Structure 1
């Protein structure tokens, strides 16, 4: 049930009547007619822009349209008033029975309340994390993992067929560095003293890998030249690191549907096939790039390279795919990887990148546009940096990782649920401060606590009501008489519930799961306000043993709130709290 959609249909029906009566021209495009919450709740329950968006094409004054539309809408029993405001906005007030209907709809649908078929089963690939397999995931990966996972759940909720994917960057030189680092730990396991130089990874997490390698091969690689062991240790180390990464992700509640190896693109003809597809479209050529901005001409060494004509698909400059020495650029395998996604039949692609990949956005969009002839969309979401604090001071680096704070450091400190919720309290492209003390604080200023406390309060009053002998079985609550729920705080809570189906579709359409976290905070705020209002007005208290029917109605409202909190937290990957400790 989407009450905003229902009222929009009512507005469209009224506009059609105006056209039939000759009060509005035929053939108007009504797609931009919207019904939404007013900017100021004091103005009404909903507002429509119909008169404003139709005035120009209809060659009429907005207020003339709004005045006639208001008359027609007021004739419907669902509308208690329709008032024209400003140049032609129309503010609507709805009958209480509609808000009661939202409660019943939420109780009937359970966690599926708000679920929609907006996505129409379109296949979407969401690629996120995709960290180099050279060590544990760090806090930056944590944010990308949470965002990507919540986005995938959100898209599933609104009707898309979603695949969660991890791109293993195991084809570059960094994996050779990993192999050399593991070899040093392997020698160390044999009692040798080693020095981590030339960019090798000194983290303690490789000690166990080196020891495991010793157990596997004995002293077969000791004092052997690199050519003997590099390939074998590279493969072994990559597998070990991916096991570590999978375990880290699982600790955060993230499970991928598919892992795709960059290495599988090399020597298999896949890169060549992708570039051939572009060449067949006339988009590959041999040429010389212009000097980069800011470089003096005398510092620029022009050289002929194989280039992708990405400017024909929205990029600022054409991009090299093969170096002058015949080696692939980093961009070439990425093109091949996305070509594989297109070939797998996805209707839309979403990549979640770190903030440092901003310069990669246009070229990747150009590649997908070219490879799919514009039929497959690519949305790239950048996640900004996370700054960690503890006791007001920056959180120190992890000895285990050697150079950074790991995902496990964060989860071990505060738990997966808190980590996930906090990572979604800012839009993905906004910086995020993560204070280990504040995220565990029990106050209204902590959105994690505030939402979970609302759910715990609902569970608490239900337990007390059952102990008092109040019948709260599903059928009783579903059929409770809600007509007495008319206090402003009760109505405001129901109105916020009514926004959920609309909100979740907007969040899915814009690929913005943080909207769900914001909404849950607002919904929790309405519940807490209603709860506290009972301190001054005893008749609003959820449990009143002298009024069983009234108690059942108020608990029905509370249960509807719990339904939406559970659904919203489910999208965020957070477990609802039944009690606070």
Structure 2
């Protein structure tokens, strides 16, 4: 049930009726016709731009079209009033019976209320986290993990077939550095004194890994040249780090559907196949690039390279895919990885990158466009930095990691639910301040607490109703007569609940799960507002002397709780049943 979709369908029917009567010309495009909440709630419940959209192609004044539409719409029992405003906007007020029927519809659907078929089962690959397997996940990875996971859940809720994927960056030189660092800890485990030189990883998290390596191989690698142990230690260390990363993700409730190893691209012909695909399209050539912007000619040496003609697919410059020594650039395996995704039949790709990958956006979009002949869109979401604050001061250090605050540090401090919700309170491309004290503060200023408290309040009402012998099962509440729900505060809350299916589609279309968190806070505010008005207006209290009247009040509150539960489910947050 989506009231905004239903009323838009009613507007389209009115347009078609006017066309059938000859009042409007045939063949008018209606895709841009919208029905949404008006900017000013005093103007009505919904507003449509239909007359403004149709005026030019119909060669009529928008106000004339709006008045004709108002007459048609006013004949429907759901429309209490259709008013023309300004040059031709049409404001609609719905009959109270529409809002009175809403709680029953929500309770019958449960947390499926708001689910959308918008995605039409299209296959979407959401790649997120994809941290180098060289250490524990830090707070920046935490935000990316939460964002990617919530986005995947949101898209699934909106009707897409979603695959959650982690790209293991185990093909580069950084994994050799990891292996050398683990080897030093391995020597330490044998009682040797070691020194961590610049470029190695000195974090204490590798002490246990070194000890595990000793337990597995004994003194096999002690005093041996690097050529004897590097490959095996590299594989061992990568496996250990990925085990640590999986544990960290589990702390957040993140579970991947698929892990893809960068290493699997090398020596298997996969990179060559991807480049050959581009070659067949005439997009690979030998050439010399212009000097980078800001470089003086004497600081730059022109050389012939193998290039991808990415400018034909929207990039600023063509990109090297092979170095002068014949080895692949970093870009080549990335092309091959996305070629693999396209080959797996995904209809849409979404990459969640750190803010430092901004320079990769255009080239990756160009690559996917070329590989898929423009059929598979790629959306890249950049995750901005998180600043942590504790006791009023910026919090930067983690002894175990050596140089940064880990995901585990944050979750152990405030818990996974708070971590996830706070990480979604701002848009992904905006920086985020995470204050440990505020994150657990029990006040209206803390959105996590405020939303959880709203759900817990409803649960408290349900418990008290059961103690009073009132049947508050969803089945019973859905059958209650709500025609007595006429107070503006109650109707306003029902109207807010009605927005949920629309919010889901807007957030899913824009790949913006933070909009769910923000809207849940608004819904919670409306619920708390109604609760507080009950202190002064007894008729608004959820528990009344009459059991049937109580059921009618509780039905609305329970509908709010159902929607909060569904929204928190998308965010990966457990709804609270009581606050301690």
TM-score w.r.t. structure 2 length? 0.99
> Where does residue 187 of structure 1 map in the other structure?
187
> Where does residue 94 of structure 1 map in the other structure?
94
> Where does residue 228 of structure 2 map in the other structure?
228
- SS in structure 2 opposite 1:505? helix
| Contact 2:107–2:475, Cα closer than 8 Å, also in 1 | no
| 1:12 correspondence with 2:12 | yes
What is the Cα deviation at residue 512 of structure 1? 0.7
> Where does residue 43 of structure 2 map in the other structure?
43
Q: Within 5 A, what are the aligned runs for 1:318-337?
A: 318-337=318-337
- SS in structure 1 opposite 2:482? coil
What is the distance in 1 between the residues matched to 2:368 and 2:396? 40
What is the distance in 1 between the residues matched to 2:549 and 2:298? 84
| 1:487 correspondence with 2:487 | yes
| Contact 2:534–2:540, Cα closer than 8 Å, also in 1 | yes
> Where does residue 531 of structure 2 map in the other structure?
531
What is the distance in 1 between the residues matched to 2:339 and 2:538? 64
> Where does residue 155 of structure 1 map in the other structure?
155
What is the distance in 2 between the residues matched to 1:247 and 1:28? 56
What is the Cα deviation at residue 468 of structure 1? 1.4
What is the distance in 2 between the residues matched to 1:72 and 1:344? 49
> Where does residue 316 of structure 2 map in the other structure?
316
Return structure 1 stretches of 4+ with deviation > 3 angstroms.
none
TM-score w.r.t. structure 1 length? 0.99
What is the distance in 2 between the residues matched to 1:472 and 1:563? 13
Q: Within 5 A, what are the aligned runs for 1:281-430?
A: 281-430=281-430
What is the Cα deviation at residue 396 of structure 1? 2.9
> Where does residue 577 of structure 1 map in the other structure?
576
> Where does residue 460 of structure 2 map in the other structure?
460
What is the Cα deviation at residue 571 of structure 1? 0.4
What is the distance in 2 between the residues matched to 1:49 and 1:402? 57
| Contact 2:418–2:439, Cα closer than 8 Å, also in 1 | yes
What is the distance in 2 between the residues matched to 1:489 and 1:535? 13
What is the Cα deviation at residue 475 of structure 1? 2.6
- SS in structure 2 opposite 1:163? strand
- SS in structure 2 opposite 1:535? helix
What is the Cα deviation at residue 478 of structure 1? 1.2
* C-alpha distance after superposition, 1:283-339 (max 9, x if no partner): 000111110000001101111111000000000000000001111100000000000
> Where does residue 568 of structure 1 map in the other structure?
567
| Contact 2:108–2:474, Cα closer than 8 Å, also in 1 | no
What is the Cα deviation at residue 75 of structure 1? 1.4
What is the distance in 2 between the residues matched to 1:344 and 1:315? 25
What is the Cα deviation at residue 550 of structure 1? 1.1
> Where does residue 109 of structure 2 map in the other structure?
109
| Contact 2:101–2:482, Cα closer than 8 Å, also in 1 | no
- SS in structure 1 opposite 2:170? coil
* C-alpha distance after superposition, 1:85-108 (max 9, x if no partner): 111111000011111222111100
Aligned pairs, number = 580
* C-alpha distance after superposition, 1:67-95 (max 9, x if no partner): 11111111111111111111111100001
| Contact 2:108–2:475, Cα closer than 8 Å, also in 1 | no
What is the distance in 2 between the residues matched to 1:318 and 1:259? 30
| Contact 2:104–2:477, Cα closer than 8 Å, also in 1 | no
> Where does residue 451 of structure 1 map in the other structure?
451
> Where does residue 206 of structure 2 map in the other structure?
206
| Contact 2:35–2:48, Cα closer than 8 Å, also in 1 | yes
What is the distance in 2 between the residues matched to 1:516 and 1:475? 27
Structure 1 residues without counterparts, runs of 5 or longer: none
What is the distance in 2 between the residues matched to 1:563 and 1:475? 13
What is the Cα deviation at residue 555 of structure 1? 0.6
Which piece of structure 1 moves more, 14-23 or 312-321?
14-23
| Contact 2:105–2:478, Cα closer than 8 Å, also in 1 | no
| Contact 2:45–2:92, Cα closer than 8 Å, also in 1 | yes
Root-mean-square deviation (Å) = 0.7
| 1:441 correspondence with 2:436 | no
